[in-house]
Structure 1
Amino acid sequence: MINILNEIAQHKLREVSEAKSKVPLEKLQQLPFYNRTCLSAKQSIAQSQNGIIAEFKRKSPSQPNINLDAKVEQVAKDYSGNGAAAISILTDQKYFGGNFNFLEQARENDTPLLCKEFIIDSYQIHQAKAHGADFILLIAALLSKSQICEFTKTAKNLGLEVLLEFHAGEEFEKLIDEVDLVGINNRDLKTFDVNLQHSIAMRNRLPKDRIVIAESGIHSVEDYKLLKQNGFDGFLIGEYFMKQEAPGQALKQFILSIHEN
């Protein structure tokens, strides 16, 4: 099977190079959101009764038509109004139908925004800040430990929090204290297979005081409850909501179902 993660990373190198030539760092630093004070996703998730990071995405490599006509402004507004602890915005265009401008369009609320991007260059962190993000995703499988340290430092200097994602136990040697949130991807990014039990086993290897996010492949309240019972604090859910005609209402019903009985 094609290693989609490596394919995305190679494309991202070319994409970032083009972006730098079109919009140099100095121009990013002049954008209005670049100097805003970020919201704390860590605090929001810790205080939330559900810990859900509701995601906006129109498509993915495994699902080319999740919801191609969805409007980010409306979905983000509905997510925020219906109890999301944070909102994830896919900014990758080629593979996920995203855009950095989606962050700006989703910014009209007081819910922390995650820039869901395949970050391989510090320039992208400045892009996230300039377009209104509050925290960024770093993927351990894409980066060396020194890059994780460098990118985390850059993010912190800009007031952004960091979610560091793992999908295999051997990657834990790249974990550093400075990251705010630890993510475990239930979907193997190389094969796109989902295995919740594998994620639970990985969670058990982490300190109990870490705020740990279960990412991807959560398709039911039962999945949510299983992960919650096994030590996860946050739950990044996108496709389940985005497949519905009204993603925000789907989130509302999901939360109601969590608290039934």
Structure 2
Amino acid sequence: MNILDTIIKRKKEEISISKSRVPVEELKNSPFFNRQTLSLKESLKNKSGIIAEFKRQSPSKGIINDKISPLEVVSAYENFGAGGISILTDKDFFGGSFEDVLSVRNSINIPILRKDFMIDEYQFYEAKSIGADVVLLIAACLSVKQVQEFTELSHELGLEVLLEIHSEEELKHINSKIDLVGINNRNLKDFKVDLQHSVNLKNQLPNGILSVAESGIYTVEDYNYLKEKGFDGFLMGEYFMKSENPIKTFENFIKII
């Protein structure tokens, strides 16, 4: 069993518990549920293109930064020109929580991506209830039909969809309603990073769809290389979060690019 299989197994257990504790109708009564969402597609066009991620830990790297608050980090990300914010809500493997989103939602005015392993309709109501604007669908753990159905549900709730792919086989998960396609430079099954593989996939995307390079972007050179190859967005977390001062690191990065 690879790490993705392990995560999904645990995620199914979590969802079952959440459903028994908080029914969908209760989620619909949350303060953020009727909030007008923000468009990541539009924000990426108008800003740096960077979706800056708040990330405490990961299965491959362990603890990255567990000493700085979400509000302190993401407010600075917005101030220095991030086009969007990605926040991990998986607890067991990434150290995230809903509270990380809730604690910043009223303080920033750029889109928030709920980054998690979305495998059940219930999770989309959760995302809406905590103030997310965008959800991540990972092709590696969903069928083509599930991607279609989850995309439709997301749009019904006013959420945009970032579909993440890793291989040519997963190109078939793309449908005409997907808002953005993310190409993960890191293979979720073995965690190897290959920027050229991502570029090859980028060249096979449908015309006109916004593309996001995800993970494994560690230098200005990586960013510039991917930008030159036509990527519209860049999801970056570890590069900033692993530094002693993520805010200063982000500020300096923006100045250079």
TM over 0.5: yes
Alpha-carbon distance in structure 1 between the residues aligned to 2:250 and 2:232: 17
Do the aligned residues in 2 keep the contact of 1:82 with 1:249 (CA within 8 Å)?
Answer: no
Q: Which digits, 9 at most, give the CA deviation of each residue in 1:41-63, with x for residues without a partner?
A: 00000122x20000001000011
Alpha-carbon distance in structure 2 between the residues aligned to 1:157 and 1:103: 21
Q: Which digits, 9 at most, give the CA deviation of each residue in 1:22-57, with x for residues without a partner?
A: 111111111100110000000000122x20000001
Identify the residue that residue 90 of structure 2 maps to in structure 1: 92
Do the aligned residues in 2 keep the contact of 1:40 with 1:161 (CA within 8 Å)?
Answer: yes
Identify the residue that residue 226 of structure 2 maps to in structure 1: 227
- Counterpart of 1:148, as a letter, is V
Alpha-carbon distance in structure 2 between the residues aligned to 1:80 and 1:127: 24
Do the aligned residues in 2 keep the contact of 1:187 with 1:217 (CA within 8 Å)?
Answer: yes
Do the aligned residues in 2 keep the contact of 1:79 with 1:247 (CA within 8 Å)?
Answer: no
Identify the residue that residue 188 of structure 1 maps to in structure 2: 187
Aligned runs of 1:31-42 on 2, under 5 Å? Answer: 31-42=30-41
Q: Which digits, 9 at most, give the CA deviation of each residue in 1:40-96, with x for residues without a partner?
A: 000000122x20000001000011110012211111111111110000000000000
- Name the Cα RMSD after superposition: 0.9
Alpha-carbon distance in structure 1 between the residues aligned to 2:43 and 2:66: 29
SS at match of 2:127: helix
Identify the residue that residue 146 of structure 2 maps to in structure 1: 147
Q: Which digits, 9 at most, give the CA deviation of each residue in 1:93-125, with x for residues without a partner?
A: 000000012111121110110000100001111
Aligned runs of 1:70-219 on 2, under 5 Å? Answer: 70-107=68-105, 108-219=107-218
Q: TM-score, normalised by structure 1?
A: 0.96
Q: Which runs of 5+ in 1 are unaligned?
A: none
Count of aligned pairs between the two proteins: 256
Identify the residue that residue 10 of structure 1 maps to in structure 2: 9
Alpha-carbon distance in structure 1 between the residues aligned to 2:31 and 2:214: 31
Alpha-carbon distance in structure 2 between the residues aligned to 1:248 and 1:180: 29
Alpha-carbon distance in structure 1 between the residues aligned to 2:244 and 2:26: 38
Alpha-carbon distance in structure 2 between the residues aligned to 1:248 and 1:84: 12
- Cα deviation for residue 248 of structure 1 reads 2.2
**Paired-residue identity, %:** 51
Q: Which digits, 9 at most, give the CA deviation of each residue in 1:175-216, with x for residues without a partner?
A: 101010000000000000000000011101113421100000
- Cα deviation for residue 253 of structure 1 reads 0.7
Alpha-carbon distance in structure 1 between the residues aligned to 2:249 and 2:177: 34
Alpha-carbon distance in structure 1 between the residues aligned to 2:162 and 2:206: 16
Alpha-carbon distance in structure 1 between the residues aligned to 2:99 and 2:161: 20
SS at match of 1:96: coil
Alpha-carbon distance in structure 2 between the residues aligned to 1:164 and 1:61: 21
- Cα deviation for residue 250 of structure 1 reads 1.3
Alpha-carbon distance in structure 2 between the residues aligned to 1:121 and 1:180: 19
Identify the residue that residue 242 of structure 1 maps to in structure 2: 241
Of 56, 59, 62, the residue aligned with 1:61 is 59
Q: Which digits, 9 at most, give the CA deviation of each residue in 1:133-189, with x for residues without a partner?
A: 000000001101111111111110110000000011111011101010000000000
Q: Which runs of 5+ in 2 are unaligned?
A: none
1:43 aligns with 2:42: yes
Alpha-carbon distance in structure 1 between the residues aligned to 2:45 and 2:167: 25
- Counterpart of 2:66, as a letter, is L
Alpha-carbon distance in structure 1 between the residues aligned to 2:34 and 2:99: 17
Alpha-carbon distance in structure 2 between the residues aligned to 1:207 and 1:174: 12
Alpha-carbon distance in structure 2 between the residues aligned to 1:223 and 1:38: 31
